[in-house]
Amino acid sequence: MKKDPDYMVTIQDTNFILTKSQIEFDAPNYFTTCFLGDFEESKTLHLKLSRDPGLFRIISDYLCGYNIFPLAEQVVPARMSPQLVLTNLQIDAEFYQLDGLVEQCEALIAQKHSETGSDKRYLLLGCEYDHFPDTDVVWPLEHHIDTAVRPESRHWRTIVTGQRLGQKPLREMEFPENHTGFQGLRRIGAVERFAREMGCVDHMLVGWYHELVDLCDRSPGAHYELIVVLAL
């Protein structure tokens, strides 16, 4: 009987060997497309990616058919907080197109929100604006606030429950506790200033989401989206 080949996946210089049964688990997925399709990887049997190797160890176990939840402390990547590992695992599961793992992550995230008070309400301050800096330098968020608060920027607000925080795009938001030092404090202050300018003075900052959407016609301008999350 002809032996099935092994497939090598290199994640940031860390090598993982997958069998055919592993890559076909929860198929179709990113691995079946690369290794069993018409791509170069189907010839070299080698795939190089710049994802997180710690998260991929968990995914490798999942591809073996193992139950990986609840996650043990030992499998949490060293540079990742336990609070973020489940969310980041879902992001990688989506990247690898592992629909079954995505569903498991979504269910666990929803359960955690339910256990920790997902009915708690949050105020979202949304803004869309075009930023035209004087130079080609890409300035950080704190340099955008003067533009974001202008009347011509498009503002909106809504109230959501905690369950929404586990969904796109809010699950990718930044948190104040992850920004330290002078630069970090200045960025937090800038986001809080935006909230004050929008008339929200007494609400605690939970986090924010800031994204470059696309380039505008007038280079070097660009179109941005900003969502600030406040606790009610």
The contacts of residue 5 (CB under 8 Å, 6+ apart) are 20, 45
**What tokens does 77 get?**
């990547």
CB atoms within 10 A of CB 6: 11
**What tokens does 222 get?**
């660009």
Q: List pLDDT tens digits, range 151-165.
A: 989 999 999 988 788
- Give the span between the Cα atoms of 150 and 138, in whole angstroms: 20
Per-residue pLDDT of the chain in tens (232 residues, 90 and over written 9): 568 899 999 999 999 999 999 999 999 999 999 999 999 999 999 999 999 999 999 999 999 999 999 999 899 888 888 778 999 999 999 999 999 999 999 888 877 766 655 568 899 999 999 877 654 445 678 888 988 999 989 999 999 988 788 888 998 889 998 888 999 999 999 999 999 999 998 899 999 999 988 765 544 568 889 999 999 8
| Residue carrying structure tokens 């997180």 | 52
Q: In Å, what is the CA distance from 88 to each residue of 109, 226, 232?
A: 11, 21, 26
H or E segment to which residue 198 belongs:
none
Percentage of the chain exceeding pLDDT 70: 90
What is the amino acid identity at position 87?
A: T
- Give burial (CB, 10 Å; 0-12/13-18/19+) of 22: buried
- Beta bridge pairs of residue 209: 227
The SS3 of residue 64 is coil
Does residue 194 contact residue 145 with C-beta atoms inside 8 Å? yes
pTM of the model: 0.54
Q: Please state whether 199 falls in left (phi above 0), alpha (psi between -120 and 50) or beta.
A: left
What is the per-residue pLDDT for 105?
92
- The beta strands (E) that lie in 142-199 are given as 154-161
Which domains are delineated in the chain? 7-115 (3.30.710.10), 121-231 (no CATH)
Does residue 81 contact residue 104 with C-beta atoms inside 8 Å? no
